[in-house]
Amino acid sequence: MSFILVLCSLIIKEMNEAIKGGEFVIRETPYTDIFIPEEFDEEARMIRQTCLDFLEAEVLNKLDRIDAQEEGLMQNLLDKAGELGMLGVSIPEQYGGFGKNFNTSMLVADAVGGGYSFAVALSAHTGIGTLPILYYGNEEQKAKYIPKLTTGEWKAAYCLTEPNAGSDANSGRTSAKLNAEGTHYLINGQKMWITNGGFADVFIVFAKIDDDKNLTAFIVERDFGGITMNPEEHKMGIKGSSTRQLFFNDCPVPVENMLSERENGFKIAVNILNIGRIKLGAATIGSSRSVISQAVKYANERVQFNLPISKFGAIRYKLAEMATRLFATEAATYRAGQNIDDAYDALIASGMDEAKAKLKSVEQFAIECAISKVWCSEMLDYVVDEGVQIYGGMGYSAEAPMERAYRDSRINRIFEGTNEVNRLLIVDMLLKRAMKGELDLMGPATAVANELMSIPDFGDEDDAPFATEKKIIANLKKVGLMIAGAAVQKLMMSLAKEEEILMNIADIIGYIYVAESVLLRAEKIYHTAGEETAALPTDMARVYLHSTLDKVAIAGKEALYSFAEGDELKMMLVGLRRFTKAEPFNVKEARQRIAKKLIEENKYCF
């Protein structure tokens, strides 16, 4: 009896402990533990509406002028956004901001995401331009810069990338050398792809001091001198976003403008990019929502064969699939955002400094941030591509909205670390946490391997709501553990070089996270708003889950074929088939119901 009590107490303890980053792979999450967008309070919704109203009044009617980079226009728009508080939603009140939580700042990125090049300029300013000072600056630096960045009086940019240092940022050659008087660092080097570079007043610049191995970060004002730049880059999309190459020629930076500590620049860059990744995910959600609404309206207006094209099954498939992918990735992104907020609250309660707690909480969920970035950016690319197809010939015309949306979307798979790099990071971070003992991956992976040797469990079916779908999710996690565990054991240290296998594993992990997130969203709506309200969210969750089964099966086979052989391969292929098996589900009828609602509402309405 005492053993049973101890076991029960351990189970209860695990259920009550806050989930760690990446732990979703080995742990079931109850719907009560996640946040869904439907739960935003009235104040957050008002902030979102303010952003949407601003886009309608100030941005969407000026898109051609913005893309032409009309002199002073973008700066003026940022000024107006600053007056409304849009630049300071998550900035502490002591620096002139609203001091809202992380998920509310994500909601702003979401709302502004439909603003094309303006969204890029605002995101660069409020994110990578401002946050390094807020999180790593000393009190004097924060007091000097943050209030002016919050109002928009000063605009910010981030100077990390160099011609020979992109994803490998720490290989940058920009140098910093202390002058003879010991008062200034003289910075020399070249930076490229600098968003807001043409008009920014403040730059976060990364350089190496003398023969240092790692980068150091500096706060550089344009007026310091020694800064020249090339003309604006001509880009495929986001044409209204100022993008320049900057050259630093003995640019004198006061020693007090070193940000954080010497050689801490690479850590700053990595942590700020974690924030940028999930914020980018939120922005693509807003952009996708706008594109879907435009596509629905056009499908209702465009008549062929005496019928609106929204009456045709092929078009309805596209509308439903666009909405399903958006609904699913949105669930994953705000789920992660709340995890970050909860981790922050716990760190503050433990006595940690606010700025450090913000960084630690995001770092804890860096895996989920990378998943959001990859899956949301690829979701947007799917949405705009299908949007062009629904518009047909007009989709290819610059006179219609899809052409700009299509071009502007493509950069998101490159921004904030390419999707290939982020996929590799997902697996790398997961395995490193396992090696540090922060996550027990090998225990569950071994249990799955043992399960393959046993007779399948054909126990009684659970008829509780979503029980069948939860079993599918549990089985998909077994696939991830089985393949990751076998790859680690078989390939050992050489696994790091097997990028194709790593990306297969990353796809499995990412699809599991998104599928579980959308299922939990539907389940929470079911329990809080009722079965009728949850009907269409449940359809979307099931459609996404069933497509995930096939994608996981394909990624799993490709991975196994790459490193397993003989009886081991046969056994794991049997397990793969077992764990990706599900009862038939009429996805066509579910998509029809989703599309019908979109068409009736004449917009994205979920």
**Domain 441-455+465-601 in the same topology as domain 266-421:** yes
Quick one: tokens of 103? 């998920």
Residue 518 pLDDT > 90: yes
Q: Which of 378, 386, 403, 416 is catalytic?
A: 416
pLDDT of residue 460: 63
What is the rounded distance in angstroms from the CA atom of residue 524 to the CA atom of residue 38? 10
Give yes or no for a contact between 246 and 191, defined as CB atoms under 8 angstroms apart: yes
The answer to whether 164 and 173 are in contact (CB under 8 A) is: yes
**CATH level 2 (architecture), domain 441-455+465-601:** Up-down Bundle (1.20)
Please confirm, yes or no, whether 600 is among the known catalytic residues: no
Which pLDDT score is estimated for 539? 98
| Domain residue spans of the chain | 38-155, 157-262, 266-421, 441-455+465-601
**How far is CA 396 from its chain centroid?**
28
Output the pTM of the full model: 0.94
Mean pLDDT for all residues in the chain: 93
Instruction: Give residue 409's pLDDT.
Output: 97
Nearest to 218 by CA among 190, 185, 183: 185
* Whole-number pLDDT of residue 9: 39
Instruction: Indicate the Cα dihedral angle 402, 320, 557, 430, nearest 10°.
Output: 80
Per residue in 256-299, pLDDT tens?
999 999 999 999 998 999 999 999 999 999 999 999 999 999 99
State how far the alpha carbon of 88 is from the alpha carbons of 76, 84, 95, 150, 284, in Å.
17, 9, 9, 5, 20
- Is the confidence at residue 8, as pLDDT, over 50? no
CATH of domain 266-421: 1.20.140.10
pLDDT for 487-508, tens place per residue? Answer: 999 998 899 999 999 999 999 9
pLDDT reported for residue 388: 98
pLDDT tens by residue, 190-209: 999 999 999 999 999 999 99
Per-residue pLDDT, 16 = 55
CA atoms within 13 A on the CB side of 337: 31
Q: Check residue 230 and report its DSSP letter.
A: P
The CA-CA-CA angle for residues 303, 308, 314, to 5°, reads: 110
User: What are all long-range contacts of 59-62, with beta carbons under 8 Å and residues at least 24 apart?
Assistant: 59/115, 59/116, 59/118, 60/115
Quick one: average pLDDT of 433-443? 90
Give the pLDDT confidence of 458-471 residue by residue, as tens digits. 666 677 889 999 99
Q: Which of 161-165, 224-228, 597-601 has the lowest mean pLDDT?
A: 161-165
Is the Cβ–Cβ distance between 124 and 131 less than 8 Å?
Answer: no
- Work out the pLDDT band at 450, boundaries 50, 70, 90: confident
Kindly report, residue by residue over 57-81, the tens digit of the pLDDT: 999 999 999 999 999 999 999 999 9
Residue 303 near residue 312 (C-beta atoms within 8 A): no
**Is the pLDDT score of 163 beyond 80?**
yes
Residue 478 has pLDDT above 50, yes or no: yes
C-alpha torsion sign, points 290, 291, 294, 296: negative
Q: Using DSSP, state whether 365 is helix, strand or coil.
A: coil
Interval 527-547: pLDDT, tens: 999 999 999 999 999 999 999
What confidence score (pLDDT) does residue 459 get? 62
Predicted confidence band of residue 449 (pLDDT cuts 50, 70, 90) = confident
Which residues is 308 bridged to in the sheet? Answer: 303
- Give the sign of the dihedral formed by CA 92, CA 93, CA 97, CA 100: positive
State what percent of residues in the chain have pLDDT above 90. 89
State pLDDT tens for residues 321-369: 999 999 999 999 999 999 999 999 999 999 998 888 989 999 999 999 9
pLDDT average, residue stretch 82-111: 95
Q: How far apart are CA 505 and CA 513, in angstroms?
A: 12
Name the pairing type of β-strands 175-178 and 202-209: parallel
CATH 3.30.1440.10 describes domain 38-155: no
Q: Is 94 exposed, middle or buried (0-12, 13-18, 19+ CB in 10 A)?
A: exposed
In this prediction, residue 11 has a pLDDT band, given cuts at 50, 70 and 90, of very low
pLDDT tens profile 297-318: 999 999 999 999 999 999 999 9
pLDDT tens readout for residues 97-125: 999 999 999 999 999 999 999 999 999 99
pLDDT band at 452 (very low <50, low <70, confident <90, very high): confident
Tally Cβ neighbours within 10 Å of residue 88: 27
Cα Rg of the chain (Å, integer): 25
pLDDT at residue number 451: 86
Positive or negative, the CA dihedral 389, 395, 401, 405 is positive
Provide the pLDDT for residue 15: 45
DSSP H or E stretch at residue 248: strand 243-254
* CATH code 2.40.50.140 for 157-262: no
